[in-house]
Amino acid sequence: MRAKIVAGNWKMHGTRAESATLIDAIIAGLRADSAQCVLCPPFVYLSDAWRLLRGGSVALGAQDVCAETHGAFTGEVSAAMLKDVGCQYVLVGHSERRALYGEDSLLVARKFAAALSRGLTPILCVGEQLAEREAGRTREVVASQLDAVTGLCGVPALGTAVIAYEPVWAIGTGRTATPGQAQDMHEFIRQRMAGQDAKIAADVRILYGGSVKAGNARELFAMPDVDGGLIGGASLKADEFLSIVAAASG
């Protein structure tokens, strides 16, 4: 039985004070048997968040990481720095990074490797654009995003990671994949990994992301290969996020 995870990706939202209020409200609303919860605030609020989380059950994550270890890379943040401020998780290959900042699958794989090398758990985001789905290329696109990582890091590396399937057409659009569409792709991802290592494929957590809300979380999380969610907009409202966490908690 894979334990579910719910990760909140705040993107570039909120003030320092709002982020603190949100964290306090989430901590206060969690039950003792809640699913694993990961919060990913903007870089500049990570240290504050770490202090507020007080080493409790909620884990801290970052939204991105540099593929390089250190040096003259103005504006970048290394995996070691993220570890240093208390992060346990980091998103890599979010579709906004891929689409808006030109991150290709090789760079994403290098970021994945950088995260692992510092003991961070990468949450590898994969997913197709609407035109790719309409052209019948969904599986091919997702397979190539996965293969870039396994090609550089090997399949065992995925055993210590989390995967997030996020169809790009569902992110921030209010248009969620149906539970059937999500299950179909999660099963495809797991089967593709099983071809190389059955144990790792059976154990890896595959989160669904894309307009998850309190109202649709339970039916998505009920799918056999959906192991929780990566939540954008709905993670900015404590009550909504807590309802999603409750849906993952059974």
Q: Is 216 in the site for ligand PGA (CB under 6 A)?
A: no
State the number of binding residues for ligand PGA (CB under 6 A).
Answer: 13
Q: Is 212 in the site for ligand PGA (CB under 6 A)?
A: yes
Using CB under 6 A, pick the residue from 5, 9, 59, 113 that binds ligand PGA: 9
Using CB under 6 A, pick the residue from 162, 171, 242, 245 that binds ligand PGA: 171
For the bound state, the minimum distance from the C-beta of residue 210 to ligand PGA, rounded and expressed in Å, comes to 5
Pick the closest to residue 130 from 93, 100, 180, 95 (CA basis). 95
In contact, 79 and 124? CB cutoff 8 Å = no
Q: Is 233 in the site for ligand PGA (CB under 6 A)?
A: yes
Pick the closest to residue 38 from 56, 15, 65, 14 (CA basis). 56
- CB-nearest residue to ligand PGA: 232
Q: Is 35 in the site for ligand PGA (CB under 6 A)?
A: no
Pick the closest to residue 40 from 17, 81, 20, 10 (CA basis). 10
Binding mask of the shown chain, residues 141 to 170, with x at each position contacting ligand PGA by CB under 6 A = -------------------------x----
Residue 94: active-site member: yes
Burial of 68 (0-12, 13-18, 19+ CB in 10 A): middle
Q: How far apart, in whole angstroms, are the C-alpha atoms of residue 82 and residue 117?
A: 12
Tokens for 107, please give them: 């760079």
Q: Is 231 in the site for ligand PGA (CB under 6 A)?
A: yes
Cα distances (Å, whole numbers) of residue 4 to 35, 133, 221: 6, 27, 9
In contact, 241 and 34? CB cutoff 8 Å = no
For the bound state, the minimum distance from the C-beta of residue 61 to ligand PGA, rounded and expressed in Å, comes to 12
Q: Which of these is catalytic: 94, 96, 103, 128? A: 94
Residue 186: active-site member: no
For the bound state, the minimum distance from the C-beta of residue 124 to ligand PGA, rounded and expressed in Å, comes to 12
- Supply angle C-alpha 176, 179, 185, rounded to 5: 90
Contacting range for ligand PGA; rule: CB under 6 A; set: 115-123, 132-140, 198-206, 230-238 = 230-238
Q: How far apart, in whole angstroms, are the C-alpha atoms of residue 81 and residue 60?
A: 13
Active centre residues (catalytic):
94, 166
What is the binding site for ligand PGA (CB under 6 A)? 9, 166, 171-172, 209-212, 230-234
